[in-house]
Amino acid sequence: MATTPASSGRRERNKQQKLDRITAAARELFTEYSVEEVTTQQIADKADIGTGTLFLYVKSKGELLLLIQNSLYAEALARGRASAEETEDALEAVLAIIRPVVECNRVHTGNGRTYLREMVFGDPEEPRHAEALAIVGQTEQAVAEVLRRDGLRDSADAATLARTTSALMFMSMAASVNAGHDADQVLADIREQLAVVLVRR
């Protein structure tokens, strides 16, 4: 029997509702516990689905963490870009962009560091990993735009400095030595490094 548009639409809505339940369940569990402490069975139980159904939507807990964190990081970046528009000083504007991202990463430090590891070492062809890498690209673009505002840097230099800024931010958030640091401490570390990197010669 041929599939009607109505039945196809209903199927898509049901799939989206299940994905929303899975995402909400995982977000709740990951807010309280580390990714390593949460089992796929617990996520499935909270989402009121079977574990087999869960794996139809995500292949691993890491992928599920990416799904959740990507949306949070995208929202953080949007807040940072808006804040940077109201900040004249280049260093302060760059820090305004990355501050909400660092704060997002530090809501649960262990999961924040796991997210970074999944993003870097995961399959870039997998959609959730591709989304994470796209957010990195958008962050670098936002930083480059700030660094070009005063007209003292060309596009190539601004892009290079933006990639350097991204690497500094990543290392400060992911480094084991900073594992016990809160957002303000990580941002202080990033500020100290960027103050040297962004100095005009």
| Residue 115 pLDDT | 93
Task: Return the amino acid letter for 13.
Answer: R
**The dihedral formed by the CA atoms of 145, 151, 155 and 161, expressed in degrees to the nearest 10:** -70
Cα dihedral sign, 109-136-168-114? positive
pLDDT of residue 42: 95
Do the Cβ atoms of 93 and 142 come closer than 8 Å? Answer: no
Q: What is the pLDDT of residue 2?
A: 54
- Which DSSP state fits 4? P
Exposed, middle or buried: residue 144 (CB in 10 Å: 0-12, 13-18, 19+)?
buried
Full DSSP string of 82-116:
HHHHT--SHHHHHHHHHHHHHHHHTTTHHHHHHHH
Rounded alpha-carbon distances, angstroms, from residue 153 to 94, 148, 159, 201: 15, 6, 10, 11
Q: Which of 113, 131, 128, 86 is nearest to 179 (CA)?
A: 113
Task: List the end-to-end C-alpha distance of the chain, in Å, as a whole number.
Answer: 72
129-159 pLDDT per residue, tens: 999 999 999 999 999 999 999 888 999 999 9
d(CA 105, CA 79): 14
Using 50 as the pLDDT threshold, list the residues of the chain that sit under it.
none
